[in-house]
Structure 1
Amino acid sequence: MNIHRLPSALLTLCAGLLLLCNAHAKKAQAAKVTPDIANEHYGPHALNVLDLWKARSDKPTPLVVQIHGGGFHGGSKNTADPAMVAALTAKGISVMAISYRLSPEVTYPVHHMDCARAIQYARLRAREWNIDPARIGATGNSAGAGMILWLGFHDDLADPANADPVLRESSRLRGMAVFNAQTSYDPFVIKGWIGEATSKHPLFEMFYGLKPEQYDTPAARAQFAQASAVTHLTKDDPPVYAIYKEPRDPVPADAKPGAGIHHPNFGLRLKEQMDRTGIECTLRHVDEGADFIQEMTAFFVRHLLEGK
């Protein structure tokens, strides 16, 4: 086809579309800026690696740690959303994305301890990275979100007498923005909150290294409670912004095992407990038209930059 024979109006339209496509391509490319630090090891395992995007600032910046999902057996730091990175760094907040050890190689609490170590490592390197160690938050999806809540509500894991200088640092967070978070990993609690199908999700066997017939024992019950974020919630814990995308409808009794693992009831039960404790918990659903990145960025600006 000879483009020069096209009507002028069509040529103008084509040129406009080309400019628009180029603009979107440039925007996407800008959002995928190479990390300032890539594949740095925060621990001895091959998966104990991080990427860091530094916000440009003469003063130490807050930091948001991104912890990926994947059912504790998949995913990596490479799934960090470029738009999220761009939004936070534009506001003066640095971003660190991490990988961690996965099941079935490891079981609870190793995944959590890796994530805690990454936060502690960031504090150890805070001066070098121009990070304010008092202003660290975290964000993540699904399994990553569940671990973030666990870390945010858990007592500080710092061990001042440890021979490893990383483990002497604090693991505490100042704010958490989570997507599709499981607020409990107790199959018995989940059955009551959401339904039997959800309580039979196959991730639990891999996560705990247990068979279903071993669940109803005192040792397993204690482990389920310890692995659940809501168990550790106290009045001195940080605020939460949580958003869910699954329908609010009840999970059918005949649903396949695991259905509902991102159900909004996880967030409803969390908000009920946080409201009673007097801690800010913003609960949103994608049906409400929420722009997760915009709202999450505003949340971190308030709690990490403005200190509210």
Structure 2
Amino acid sequence: MATTLWATLAHAEDAKSWDPGIPLFEGKPPGYIADAGPETNDGNGRFGNVTTPTLAVHLPPKELRNGLAIVVCPGGGYSRVGIGPKGDAAIKYFVPRGVAIFVLKYRTRPPSKQVEVDALADVQRAVRMVRHRAAEWGVDPDRIGMLGWSAGSHLILNLASHNDTGNAAAADPIERQSCRPNFVAAMCPWPSRSKPANFPATKQTPPILMCSARDDKTAPTSFAKALRDAYIAAGIECTLHEVETGGHEAFTIEGPGEGGKWTETFWPWLSKIKMVQSELEPMTK
């Protein structure tokens, strides 16, 4: 097992989550913008001008899989998707611990003229796809969660409020699946132009963990606190983990400072909401 784990860690170290992923939609996605020009990449995996959303699949070896799946939504203000900085860190950390990671490249503005609507359609489709192919990918369809940073947090909180059980009559089998995540972990939740009321709690809202740095000027802790209070008042399981410093980059996985240790809060929280058993908590390197 030690050799297998070492090899898995080495593989994850080299993985590039901006490698070509699976197109989310057959043909053009809803709201497609024609003649938008090519997608851009700054060389570090920060993508812009995204017109075709994709899902990059990163699976642990079969002997390490525990059935947990996380769809990762990097940030970038909806103008870019920072897949390299955040997606690769998630792969490196979670895959060797038996967790299947799916990195979403959602649509951006430009070219989208209603990016929050288009990106929501993308993330809904991503969850449906993972659930549809759960058996193939060694995933438990009842343990599919979301992890986002900044605009990615905005997106997955939007999904937490706007999801459904699928369309049983759909010709496309993917569309028959629920797009409700089983949990949401939102790092540095960014309000964009939204107010807490734009993220209403419903009977379909999953348990939510939010992490916020008190010195984050881009995603103020006051916004996260208002969301937490509204969710708790509605009877939704919601935990807010605060740190003093680190700003908008505080919760980089295994990054410097207190925020870089947020996974030490994440695993016990997953156990609390019954997404992992104690034996499925992270393996040590």
Matches of 2:193 and 2:180 in 1, distance apart?
21
Answer yes or no: is the 8 Å Cα contact 2:164–2:204 preserved in 1: no
User: Where does residue 295 of structure 1 map in the other structure?
Assistant: 265
Structural RMSD (CA): 3.1
User: Where does residue 40 of structure 1 map in the other structure?
Assistant: 22
- State the aligned residue count: 231
Answer yes or no: is the 8 Å Cα contact 2:71–2:101 preserved in 1: yes
Which of 50, 71, 78 aligns to 1:65? It is: 71
Question: Per the alignment, in what secondary structure is the counterpart of residue 64 of structure 1?
Answer: strand
The two structures have a TM-score, normalised by structure 2, of 0.70
Which of 168, 185, 196 aligns to 2:176? It is: 168
Please identify, of 162-171 and 27-36, the stretch whose mean Cα deviation from structure 2 is larger: 27-36
Moved over 4 A (4+): 26-31, 35-38
Which of 278, 282, 293 aligns to 2:239? It is: 282
| Identity fraction in percent | 24
Which of 217, 222, 225 aligns to 1:268? It is: 225
Superposed CA deviations along residues 117-163 of structure 1, whole A, max 9, x for unmatched, are 11111112112111111110000111111111121232416122222
Matches of 1:138 and 1:30 in 2, distance apart?
23
Question: Per the alignment, in what secondary structure is the counterpart of residue 61 of structure 1?
Answer: coil
Matches of 1:70 and 1:295 in 2, distance apart?
25
Please identify, of 60-69 and 85-94, the stretch whose mean Cα deviation from structure 2 is larger: 85-94
Cα distance 1:113–1:265, how it changes in 2: closer, same or farther (>3 A)? same
Q: Unpaired runs of 5+ in structure 1?
A: 1-25, 191-224, 249-259
Superposed CA deviations along residues 260-292 of structure 1, whole A, max 9, x for unmatched, are 441111110011112212222221223273412
Alignment of 1:125-140 (within 5 A): 125-140=133-148
Superposed CA deviations along residues 223-280 of structure 1, whole A, max 9, x for unmatched, are xx6xx22x2x1255221111123527xxxxxxxxxxx441111110011112212222
Matches of 2:231 and 2:166 in 1, distance apart?
24
Which of 99, 109, 127 aligns to 1:103? It is: 109
The two structures have a TM-score, normalised by structure 1, of 0.65
Alignment of 1:87-98 (within 5 A): 87-98=93-104
Answer yes or no: is the 8 Å Cα contact 1:80–1:97 preserved in 2: no
Cα distance 1:143–1:185, how it changes in 2: closer, same or farther (>3 A)? same
Amino acid at match of 1:42: L
Q: Unpaired runs of 5+ in structure 2?
A: 1-6, 29-50, 246-257, 279-285
User: Where does residue 19 of structure 1 map in the other structure?
Assistant: none
Answer yes or no: is the 8 Å Cα contact 2:8–2:96 preserved in 1: no
Answer yes or no: is the 8 Å Cα contact 1:35–1:53 preserved in 2: no
Alignment of 1:204-219 (within 5 A): none
Cα distance 1:27–1:61, how it changes in 2: closer, same or farther (>3 A)? closer
Matches of 1:295 and 1:81 in 2, distance apart?
20
Answer yes or no: is the 8 Å Cα contact 2:180–2:204 preserved in 1: no
User: Where does residue 20 of structure 1 map in the other structure?
Assistant: none
Q: Which has the higher helix share?
A: 1
Amino acid at match of 2:183: G
Matched, 1:247 2:215: yes
Which of 114, 120, 133 aligns to 1:112? It is: 120
